[in-house]
Structure 1
Amino acid sequence: MPRKKQPIIEYRHYSLPIHFPILLLSGERWKISDIKSEHLHFHNHLEIGICHSESGIMEIKGESVPFKAGDVTFIPRYLPHTTYSSPNEASLWSYLFFSPEDLFQHSFKSSAYSYFEPNLWAIKGLNCILNREEHPRIYTLATSVVEELKQKNPFYQESAYGLLLSLYIELLRIHSRNEPLADQETQHNLKGDLVISPVLEYITKNYMSPITIDFLADLCHLSTTHFRRKFHDIMGTAPLDFLNSTRIEEACKQLKSTDASILSISEQVGFQSISSFNRCFSRLMGKSPKEWRKGAQSEVQSAKASILEFTGWM
């Protein structure tokens, strides 16, 4: 019996603004084509999407789930998926990207930290799409956040934060009611699709600590050789290069938002020497840390891939 072909999975890295870490993608350019991608993709932040027009299909967790205008989608980070419109249509979307753990850490009690994002293996694909008729409050809150961020009236950040917190709590409530344990076959298939997710989670939270390739391979229960190959197939880069790009991006945030010395920042993000930090920073950013800080733009520059490099948009 022939083996089932494994999907190709792309990693899409979105950089958040420093002082108000919520990214909004909205407007006429965010139309999804009706051509089904051969690749799945996943993000480094939680995604909330609002379908404004037309219809289509979202492929997620081995399911083909239909969507239509008025639906709100809720995709935790590191969950592979793809979306395409119905034939001869181009669905229009708005997207919100943010990290609940970073954004809401002061709004939740410490005992609630484990609930920042649902268990990837327990979520059913069907529960990632919420329609307007059954969940009118979800739709109202999501569209209200988008409008606040678009219009930028006085105190819009405070208003958007409160609305997004309310929206996120509503989403957690829904998923806490719909969280049966995934069957073993589903868990096996998902972990095969994204076996490296424990490493992505670990690097996101522990990039500042010393990390070895053997330790990362152990997190995935793979040999070092197999882990290197699997990681590169999915991420398009080596594990330690991904770690360093994570460190450099965090360094960019600190260079822009603080007056800390370059030496102090290099140590805080995990580099063992200022020389290795300078070399890595210059290779990824095209400038020295000192030059970059002097000419930093209004938004943090990303050390990783831009969303504009990816296909599937009209």
Structure 2
Amino acid sequence: MLQKNDTNELYEKIPHGTSNFPYKVHLTELESGFSLYPHLHQEFELLVMHKGDGIMYADNVEYILSEGDGLFINSRSIHFGKKLHTKTISFYAIVFSEKIISSTYDDLIFEKYVTPVKNNDIRLPTYLSRTGSWQSRILNIADELYASRDSSAWCEELRIKTQLLKLWTLLCEQGSPSQIGPADKYLADIKSVMEYINDNYASRITLSDLARHCHMSSGHFSRIFSSIMHKSPYQYLVDIRIEKSSHLLSTSTLPIGEIAASCGFCDFSYYSKLFKETMGCTPSEYRRLHRCR
């Protein structure tokens, strides 16, 4: 386990559509304010605040999202959310693969308008507000995709692909060459460390292990990680382990002690204490509340 004095799920496991149509709209409702644990995925994402507001971070940039605002999140962008209050909020996320907006063979669209975005050579607009004309058009398309998310009508896939291409065109029209900021040069290192944690979160991980992984001193790594993730490596590890354990609590019948151990907690009492501090209830209470949902 990562120790404070020494001074984690990264790639989202939620399926985003199918292999032959990698597209999905996810609706999330939270009763006590906006919260989204740090993660990334290979797909592109357009997140729209459906009700309420919150703070969103994407690759170390903070955005205040009000009701109706949206955020474009690039492939492999580290993103997470924090609450502004404890009121009920909801947001939806349109998640889609590059395969939806390009072909499987040699494709000029992919070469000219997708690859440069994925490689961060071209930066598309991130924050989207209803006040701007082209931004409103993008958000209106998002609303249409959200409204028809459960449709199984004939030609629905064609309509979705058409709408996504319109959306991508509007974003690309506003794209600009990327400029490297002071912290951007460390993003690849932090993503690599997150991938390392994702593969090893159940094992003992020290700050030295993480720092060594990206060829930094422990002190320098801790400062860089905290500045980008807005939490210490220790707190990030705890949050990810708690997140993973909460998923197992609600989806499996494994004993709670076994769940704790499988998520990297060697001490059950310590796990229970951290779980209650993070989630506001004990692991057993959480299981009762969420198991049947």
Q: Could you tell me the TM-score, scaled by structure 2's length?
A: 0.57
* Residue in structure 1 matched with residue 61 of structure 2 by the alignment: 63
Distance 1:79 1:105, change over 3 A: same
The answer on 1:146 being equivalent to 2:146 is yes
* Residue in structure 1 matched with residue 95 of structure 2 by the alignment: 97
1:122/1:182 contact within 8 Å kept: no
Match of 1:116, SS?
helix
Q: CA deviation at 1:138?
A: 0.6
Distance 1:74 1:107, change over 3 A: farther
The answer on 1:86 being equivalent to 2:84 is yes
Distance 1:108 1:18, change over 3 A: closer
Matches within 5 A, 1:149-298: 149-174=149-174, 176-177=175-176, 179-183=177-181, 185-195=182-192, 231-236=195-200
Q: CA deviation at 1:151?
A: 3.4
> Partners of 1:106 and 1:231 in 2: how far apart?
28
Distance 1:90 1:182, change over 3 A: farther
Question: What is the one-letter code of the residue matched to 1:103?
Answer: I
Q: CA deviation at 1:109?
A: 7.7
* 122, 128, 131: which one aligns with 1:130: 128
* Residue in structure 1 matched with residue 209 of structure 2 by the alignment: none
Distance 1:122 1:190, change over 3 A: farther
1:47/1:96 contact within 8 Å kept: yes
Q: CA deviation at 1:57?
A: 0.3
Distance 1:82 1:22, change over 3 A: same
Question: What is the one-letter code of the residue matched to 1:132?
Answer: R
* Residue in structure 2 matched with residue 112 of structure 1 by the alignment: 109
Instruction: State the Cα RMSD in Å.
Output: 3.7
> Partners of 1:137 and 1:33 in 2: how far apart?
31
Match of 1:59, SS?
strand
> Partners of 2:40 and 2:95 in 1: how far apart?
12
2:29/2:88 contact within 8 Å kept: no
Distance 1:142 1:35, change over 3 A: closer
Per-residue displacement from partner, 1:10-30 (whole Å, max 9, x unpaired)? 22133322443211213xx53
Q: CA deviation at 1:75?
A: 0.8
* Residue in structure 1 matched with residue 236 of structure 2 by the alignment: none
Distance 1:21 1:32, change over 3 A: farther
Distance 1:124 1:84, change over 3 A: farther
